[in-house]
C-alpha cells in the first residue's frame, strides 16, 4: 500500500530517503529525558521541559506529513504528581505556551486536538488553554493529536471496570455482552485504533504505566535521544524501522 503525502514541501520530501509505505496509523510517544537534557547543559530541569515544547511541534508536523492518523503524546502521568510542586506548576503552563505558538500551524495542517487522562483534575488555566484548542480544532478532519495528560494506564483500566460495574448494576449492560471490544469502549481511547508504534526517548525501556491495554501488539522503538533533541530525522528513523517490522499478532 502506498500513501499520499499531503503536507510535504518539496525540499523536505527530498530529505526523506525511505519509502512512504506501511506507515503506522497510530503512533504513541513517551517524551522522556527533558530533565537530563537540561542537567547536561548545567540548566535547571524545567529548561528541558521548555525546549521539549518545540520538539512536540516538529513531530506533529512530521507525523501529519506522513499521513499518520493518530499521534498520542504522553505529556504528564498520574505518577508525575510526585514531583516537586514548582516543576509541576511549570509543566502545567506548557500546554498554553505550546498552543500560543503553534496553534496556527496546527490549524493550517488540519490537525484536531484531544486529550486522554483525568482532565478535570488539571489546573483551571491548563484546562482552559486545552479546551480552547479542542474547540478551535474540532472541525479539522486530518490527524488527531492526542495529549495524554494526567494519564495512567492502570487508573484508566480501573475506571473502565467501575463504569462497567455501574452499567451492569443499572441494567445498561449485560455481563454476556461484555467482550474485548466493548471493554475498549470504556477506556479514554474509546473508538481509537490501538497504537501501531510506540516510541520512547532517553534510553529508558519501559512503559511507565502508558497505554497498558492498548499496547498489547504495539511495536516498540527506543532511542537514546533526549526528548528536546528529537527532530524530524529521528522521527523518520523510527518510521523506517517500523516499516521493516513483521507483525504477526500471534499468527504465522
Catalytic residues: 32, 80
CB of 32 to Mg ion, least distance (A): 4
CB of 66 to ligand IPE, least distance (A): 22
CA atoms within 13 A on the CB side of 83: 17
CB of 145 to Mg ion, least distance (A): 21
The reply on whether position 36 binds ligand IPE by CB under 6 A is yes
By beta-carbon proximity to ligand IPE, the closer residue of 8 and 155 is 155
Report the alpha-carbon angle 24-25-28, nearest 5. 75
Footprint of ligand IPE on 207-246 (CB under 6 A): 208, 227
Interface stretch with ligand IPE, choices 125-133, 188-196, 202-210, 232-240 (CB under 6 A) = 202-210
Cross-strand partners of 27: 71, 197
The reply on whether position 196 binds Mg ion by CB under 5 A is no
The reply on whether position 32 binds Mg ion by CB under 5 A is yes
The reply on whether position 75 binds ligand IPE by CB under 6 A is yes
Interface stretch with ligand IPE, choices 4-12, 71-79, 110-118, 235-243 (CB under 6 A) = 71-79
The reply on whether position 47 binds ligand IPE by CB under 6 A is no
By beta-carbon proximity to ligand IPE, the closer residue of 109 and 223 is 223
By beta-carbon proximity to ligand IPE, the closer residue of 31 and 106 is 31
Residue nearest to Mg ion (CB): 32
CB of 71 to Mg ion, least distance (A): 20
Which residues make up the interface to ligand IPE (CB under 6 A)? 30-36, 74-77, 80, 91, 202, 204, 206, 208, 227
What residue ranges bind Mg ion (CB under 5 A)? 32
Amino acid at each position: 500500500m502506498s500513501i499520499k503525502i499531503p503536507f510535504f514541501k518539496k525540499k523536505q520530501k527530498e530529505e526523506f530517503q525511505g519509502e512512504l509505505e506501511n506507515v503506522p496509523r497510530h503512533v504513541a510517544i513517551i517524551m522522556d529525558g527533558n530533565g537530563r537534557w537540561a542537567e547536561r547543559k548545567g540548566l535547571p530541569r524545567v529548561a528541558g521541559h521548555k525546549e521539549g515544547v518545540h520538539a512536540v511541534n516538529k513531530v506533529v508536523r512530521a507525523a501529519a506529513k506522513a499521513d499518520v492518523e493518530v499521534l498520542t503524546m504522553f505529556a504528564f502521568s498520574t505518577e508525575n504528581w510526585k514531583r516537586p510542586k514548582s516543576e509541576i506548576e511549570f509543566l502545567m503552563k506548557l500546554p498554553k505556551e505550546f498552543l500560543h505558538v503553534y496553534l496556527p500551524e496546527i490549524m493550517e495542517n488540519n490537525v484536531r486536538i484531544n486529550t486522554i487522562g483525568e482532565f478535570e483534575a488539571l489546573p483551571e488555566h491548563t484546562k482552559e488553554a486545552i479546551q480552547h484548542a479542542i474547540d478551535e480544532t474540532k472541525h479539522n478532519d486530518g490527524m488527531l493529536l492526542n495529549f495524554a495528560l494526567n494519564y495512567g494506564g492502570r487508573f484508566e483500566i480501573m475506571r473502565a471496570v467501575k463504569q462497567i460495574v455501574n452499567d451492569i448494576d443499572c441494567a445498561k449492560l449485560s455481563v454476556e455482552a461484555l467482550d474485548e471490544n466493548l471493554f475498549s469502549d470504556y477506556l479514554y481511547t474509546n473508538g481509537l485504533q490501538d497504537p501501531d508504534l510506540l516510541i520512547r526517548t532517553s534510553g529508558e525501556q519501559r512503559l511507565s504505566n502508558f497505554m497498558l491495554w492498548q499496547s498489547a501488539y504495539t511495536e516498540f522503538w527506543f532511542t537514546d535521544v533526549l526528548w528536546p533533541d528529537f527532530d524530524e530525522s529521528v522521527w523518520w528513523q523510527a518510521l523506517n524501522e517500523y516499516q521493516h517490522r513483521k507483525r504477526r499478532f500471534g499468527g504465522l
